[in-house]
């Protein structure tokens, strides 16, 4: 078996340092997997601060989670990553972290709304969906991704954190960065007393631009053009987590804004 190229290890370690510097992880939080070839992944080990991981600490695993090379143990949430690669054959990287503001939304049972910034709609789509809670490290925690990750590149894991995917670790990182940025803006706008979304007709146009840019489920062929832009959510997923209505007029001042529909689970 040939070991992965050094450049892949160095690339991952460099981005792990950035994840730590941004304050998206604490203690041993967070994990990253990077696709090496059809059956092998480069992965972070368990029980390591992301700031302390070095090239030689990284693991090579197969797509069943078996460690092929490396002296450390794989993290307990590997099933979440393996499911992501099953659902999205177009991706090369899966990143899970706990950026504080976005994770605050996860704990509150709310979705930060990308439709407050035009550019975010092109980058992330019209939702950053809230995935129902499941105990981390269990098969159930990976099953909950099924209805969401085929449509979205970034999801909020209820009472857990954020998961992003990309065709490179840079893209997964930038999507995580944008989720946290949107969550901060959303929170500050509601604290100021009102949050106005981009007009609905412009959201439709922005989603079309997203598709033309090769992004999203239409560009990947996972949806058809006949599906309305604002209805791109399977029934099972939509019923599992009701989409939180976003205020377009003045709201009650507070950390989470005006009246919202909270998930019951």
Q: What is the mean pLDDT of residues 48-58?
A: 96
Q: Which of 89, 105, 87 is nearest to 39 (CA)?
A: 89
Region 176-189: mean pLDDT is: 98
Whether residue 217 has pLDDT greater than 60? yes
Query: How far apart are alpha carbons 191 and 185 in whole angstroms?
Result: 10
The closest alpha carbon to 211, from 103, 93, 126, 101, belongs to 126
pLDDT above 80 for 254: no
Euclidean distance between CA atoms 12 and 94, whole angstroms: 12
Query: Average pLDDT of 227-254?
Result: 39
| Predicted pLDDT at 8 | 86
Residue 227 banded pLDDT, cuts 50, 70, 90: low
pLDDT above 80 (res 229):
no
- The pLDDT assigned to 205 comes to 98
With 90 as the cut, is the pLDDT of residue 240 above it?
Answer: no
Average pLDDT, the chain: 86
Residue range(s) of every CATH 3.40.225.10 domain in the chain:
93-265
How far is the first Cα of the chain from the last one, in angstroms, to the nearest whole number? 46
**Using CA atoms in the order 104, 110, 111, 116, what is the torsion angle rounded to 10 degrees?**
-90
Q: Is the pLDDT of residue 34 over 60?
A: yes
Which 3 state secondary structure label does DSSP give 184? Answer: helix
What is the spatial distance between Cα 261 and Cα 182, in angstroms, rounded to a whole number? 20
Query: C-alpha angle 131/76/169, rounded to 5°?
Result: 70
Prediction pTM value: 0.85
CB 255 within 8 A of CB 193: no
pLDDT-derived band at 222 (thresholds 50, 70, 90) equals confident
Assign residue 204 a region (left: φ > 0; alpha: ψ between -120 and 50; beta: otherwise). alpha
Query: 93-265 sits in which CATH class?
Result: alpha beta
* Gap between the Cα atoms of 214 and 11, Å rounded: 25
pLDDT of residue 4: 55
Residue 225 has a pLDDT of 66
Q: Could you report the per-residue pLDDT of 98-157, keeping only the tens digit for each?
A: 999 999 999 999 999 999 999 999 999 999 999 999 999 888 889 999 999 999 999 999
């Amino acid at each position: 078996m040939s070991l992965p190229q050094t450049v892949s290890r160095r690339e991952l370690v460099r981005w792990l340092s950035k994840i730590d510097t941004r304050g998206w992880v604490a203690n041993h939080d967070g994990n990253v997997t990077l696709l090496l070839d059809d059956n092998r992944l480069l992965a972070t080990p368990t029980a390591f601060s992301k700031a302390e991981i070095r090239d030689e600490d990284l693991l090579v695993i197969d797509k069943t989670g078996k460690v092929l090379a490396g002296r450390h143990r794989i993290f307990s949430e590997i099933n979440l990553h393996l499911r992501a690669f099953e659902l999205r054959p177009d991706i090369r990287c899966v990143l899970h972290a706990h950026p504080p503001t976005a994770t605050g939304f996860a704990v509150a049972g709310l979705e930060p709304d990308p439709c407050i910034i035009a550019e975010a709609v092109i980058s992330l789509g019209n939702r950053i969906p809230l995935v129902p809670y499941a105990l981390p490290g269990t098969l159930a925690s990976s099953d909950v991704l099924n209805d969401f990750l085929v449509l979205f590149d970034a999801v909020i894991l209820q009472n857990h954190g954020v998961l992003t995917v990309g065709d490179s670790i840079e893209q997964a990182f930038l999507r995580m960065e944008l989720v946290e940025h949107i969550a901060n803006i959303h929170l500050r706008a509601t604290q100021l007393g009102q949050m106005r979304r981009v007009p609905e007709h412009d959201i439709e146009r922005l989603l079309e631009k997203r598709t033309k840019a090769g992004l999203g489920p239409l560009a990947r062929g996972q949806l058809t053009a006949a599906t309305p832009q604002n209805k791109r959510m399977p029934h099972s997923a939509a019923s599992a987590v009701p989409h939180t209505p976003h205020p377009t007029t003045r709201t009650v001042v507070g950390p989470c804004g005006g009246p919202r529909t909270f998930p019951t689970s």
